[in-house]
Amino acid sequence: MTLHTPKAVIVIFGATGDLANRKLYPSLYRLYRNGKLSENFAVIGVARRPLTNEDFRNNIKKSIADFNDEHINPDEFASHFHYNPFDVQDLTHYQKLNAFMDELDEKYDAGGNRLFYLAMAPNFFGTIAANLKSEGVTNNQGWTRLVIEKPFGHNYDTAQQLNDQIRHAFSEDQIYRIDHYLGKEMIQNIEIVRFANALFEPLWNNQYIANIQITSSETLGVEERGSYYDKSGALRDMVQNHILQMVSLLAMEPPAKLTPDDIRYEKIKVLRSLRPISEADVNNYFVRGQYDRGEIDGEPMNAYREGNGVDPESNTETFVAGKFMIDNFRWAGVPFYIRTGKRMAKKATEIVVQFKDLPINLYAGKGDTIDPNLLVIRVQPEDGITLHLNAKKGDYDTTSTPITMHYDKSAVENEYTPEAYETLLNDCLNGDSTNFVHSDEVALSWKYIDIISKAWTDKKAAFPNYTSGSNGPREADKLLENDGFYWWTIQ
Ligand SMILES: NC(=O)C1=CN([C@@H]2O[C@H](COP(=O)(O)OP(=O)(O)OC[C@H]3O[C@@H](n4cnc5c(N)ncnc54)[C@H](OP(=O)(O)O)[C@@H]3O)[C@@H](O)[C@H]2O)C=CC1
Ligand SMILES: O=C1O[C@H](COP(=O)(O)O)[C@@H](O)[C@H](O)[C@H]1O
């Protein structure tokens, strides 16, 4: 696809919030700095508090203060930003917004294109979408796009309701549902590693792969988000979206073409092939945990139930481990193990593809155990790929020893690797929806997750059951041990 420098008037609903300040403004700045955003753009920040343009621009400058680029004048960048105090319920505010967008469109020659970014709590999404439509804000000349943030609903039913509300005002191809994991460099690399290497694609199936493990662990607890998190939990917060997206990318068939529709079609097929589990079976496939007090880097940590906004008897899980089975020809019999949790030993996201053992070990007589080949995709904190092989030991005998081949980015490459939000904003501005989530993916993933959450809501767990700073509850290890496997250590 040929990319042109996009032109647009962008409205950020929730412009004074955490996401806007920490992620969106720095991402827009990097796009601007890297020439991906021309001078033909304006941003209107929308929120309740009564800021002036000057206050708002000062906030923008604070959010990009770390960049310190000599050749970019922060005032010049910030001059593209305009603040609009706003009440999302007040229709007259939408009418004024519409007129202001026209004015800025003319001033910046923005091509009549409009991007609405909803960086606010999801309960506002339906109202905002409906009001934008009823007040004619979406009747613009150029393209119109809507970006929404997760959570896309709380379960299947609420996700469908949310979708219906938004679809009333925007068509599916105008809606960009953000899953920031899809903007991460190494998650995007899964497709390239699989489909651009003759070495892997022929082996990428149940004949050669024993299991796939996905770990996304955090050292942080729920911090200031207790009241949101206590109603969500790790299953909804991480598994329904990020983890299932990673599973889909790892398991999908090669798409006919690299178009958004072809790729989504293949991902959706994976979600359709997930082996359904009954409520009675949930605990054979999934393990839940909640962190207790503990220590990380020598610092004492409190228990989840002691956090702000958390019910002192909370039954909410802060850890999930699980096994997905994909019942199709390619993956029959291959477990996809996943685990994610807060307050674990390390902050890391890693994918390990474990290949099957060879039929016989020719070196067993010489006392060597041959390790399985592993392909490790390191998503964060550092990106990289490691291939675990066996090779000759450096001695007189012909014996085998495990070796590794690493691909690590140089410091310079790392510096220029775009942040997830930067990549996704760039894609959206250029109309590329490949790395955004389709409503069918949302619906299918909720259908699967709802069964687990029902089983877990109906039956209280013996929480807390893992120490802060550990790798989660012991049951998560047993899940693999029962199948003759174990979790590979995170690097
Ligand atoms: N923060 C993050 O890292 C992530 C956030 N998200 C999602 O992004 C969304 C925003 O999160 P976050 O930035 O953390 O939330 P914040 O609570 O920090 O910000 C909420 C924003 O909404 C504005 N707002 C609230 N009520 C109204 C109203 N009635 N009318 C107009 N504006 C209003 C607030 O401004 P004011 O008070 O001035 O009105 C503020 O700008 C949520 O859906 C969240 O789940 C998703 C992934 C990561
Ligand atoms: O969406 C979310 O993701 C973060 C973890 O993101 P990462 O990029 O740091 O891996 C998680 O902390 C948060 O609870 C969740 O809502």
Does 97 sit in the ligand 1 pocket, CB within 6 Å? no
Q: How confident is the model at residue 474 (pLDDT cuts 50, 70, 90)?
A: very high
Closest protein CA for atom 7 of ligand 2: 181
Residue 120: which residues within 8 A CB-CB, separation 6 or more? Answer: 13, 14, 17, 88, 128
Q: Is 347 annotated as a binding residue?
A: yes
* Separation CA 482–CA 87 (nearest Å): 55
Q: Which ligand neighbours the alpha carbon of 88 most closely?
A: 1
* Residue whose CB lies within 8 A of the most ligand 2 atoms, among 242, 243, 342, 417, for a mutation test: 242
Average pLDDT for the chain:
95
Q: Read off the pLDDT of residues 237-250 as tens digits, 9 standing for 90 and up.
A: 999 999 999 999 99
The phi, psi pair for 19, rounded to 5°, reads -65, -45
* Separation CA 148–CA 157 (nearest Å): 18
Q: What local confidence, expressed as pLDDT, does residue 412 receive?
A: 74
Does 237 sit in the ligand 2 pocket, CB within 6 Å? yes
Q: What local confidence, expressed as pLDDT, does residue 18 receive?
A: 92
Output Rg (C-alpha) for the chain, integer angstroms.
24
Strand order in the sheet with 175-177: 81-85, 41-47, 8-13, 114-118, 144-148, 175-177
Q: Read off the pLDDT of residues 314-363 as tens digits, 9 standing for 90 and up.
A: 999 999 999 999 999 999 999 999 999 999 999 999 999 999 999 999 88
Specify the range with the lowest mean pLDDT, choosing from 46-55, 307-316, 390-399, 427-436: 390-399
As a whole-number percent, the residues of the chain with pLDDT over 70 amount to 99
Which residue ranges form the domains of the chain, and what is each CATH number?
8-149 (3.40.50.720), 182-423+438-482 (3.30.360.10)
Does 218 sit in the ligand 2 pocket, CB within 6 Å? yes
Closest protein CA for atom 3 of ligand 1: 19
Residue 337: which residues within 8 A CB-CB, separation 6 or more? Answer: 211, 212, 213, 214, 321, 322, 323, 479, 480, 485, 487
Question: For residue 416, which of 28, 26, 34 has the smallest C-alpha distance?
Answer: 34
DSSP classification of residue 137: T
Average the pLDDT over 353-376 and give the result.
Answer: 92
Average the pLDDT over 302-306 and give the result.
Answer: 98
Read off the tokens for 172: 């599916």
**Single-letter residue type at 181:** Y
242 included as an active-site residue = yes
Whether 370 shows a pLDDT value over 60: the answer reads yes
Q: How confident is the model at residue 413 (pLDDT cuts 50, 70, 90)?
A: confident
Average the pLDDT over 35-57 and give the result.
Answer: 96
Average the pLDDT over 94-110 and give the result.
Answer: 98
Does 122 sit in the ligand 1 pocket, CB within 6 Å? yes
* Separation CA 355–CA 206 (nearest Å): 9
* Separation CA 287–CA 387 (nearest Å): 29
Q: In this structure, are residues 267 and 244 in contact, taking their beta carbons and an 8 Å threshold?
A: no
Q: How confident is the model at residue 38 (pLDDT cuts 50, 70, 90)?
A: confident
Task: Name the residue with tokens 């220590």.
Answer: 295
* Separation CA 172–CA 206 (nearest Å): 35
Q: How confident is the model at residue 2 (pLDDT cuts 50, 70, 90)?
A: very low
Closest protein CA for atom 5 of ligand 1: 19
Does 87 sit in the ligand 1 pocket, CB within 6 Å? yes
88 Cα: distance to centroid of ligand 1 (angstroms): 13
CA 22 to chain centre: 16
Whether 399 shows a pLDDT value over 90: the answer reads no
pTM score: 0.96
Does 15 sit in the ligand 1 pocket, CB within 6 Å? yes
Biggest alpha carbon–alpha carbon distance for the chain: 84
Q: Which ligand neighbours the alpha carbon of 83 most closely?
A: 1
Residue 21 Cα: closest atom of ligand 1 = 13
Q: Read off the pLDDT of residues 69-84 as tens digits, 9 standing for 90 and up.
A: 888 999 999 999 999 9
Q: How many CA atoms lie within 13 A of 112 on its CB side?
A: 6
Q: Which ligand neighbours the alpha carbon of 124 most closely?
A: 1
389 Cα: distance to centroid of ligand 2 (angstroms): 32
Q: Where are the beta strands (DSSP E) in 172-318?
A: 175-177, 209-217, 286-289, 291-296, 299-301
> Which residue out of 80, 154, 242, 388 is catalytically annotated?
242
Does 227 sit in the ligand 1 pocket, CB within 6 Å? no
Q: What local confidence, expressed as pLDDT, does residue 1 receive?
A: 47
Average the pLDDT over 385-403 and give the result.
Answer: 89
Number of neighbouring beta carbons within 10 Å of residue 110: 25
Closest protein CA for atom 12 of ligand 2: 218
Q: Read off the pLDDT of residues 254-280 as tens digits, 9 standing for 90 and up.
A: 999 999 999 999 999 999 999 999 999
Q: Read off the pLDDT of residues 127-178 as tens digits, 9 standing for 90 and up.
A: 999 999 999 999 999 999 999 999 999 999 999 999 999 999 999 999 999 9
Q: Which ligand neighbours the alpha carbon of 131 most closely?
A: 1
* Separation CA 318–CA 467 (nearest Å): 12
The phi, psi pair for 365, rounded to 5°, reads -65, -25
Closest protein CA for atom 15 of ligand 2: 237
DSSP classification of residue 459: S
Does 150 sit in the ligand 1 pocket, CB within 6 Å? yes
Whether 3 shows a pLDDT value over 60: the answer reads no
Whether 289 shows a pLDDT value over 70: the answer reads yes
| CA distances, 262 to each of 252, 265, 400 (Å) | 11, 5, 43
* Residue whose CB lies within 8 A of the most ligand 2 atoms, among 238, 340, 379, 445, for a mutation test: 238
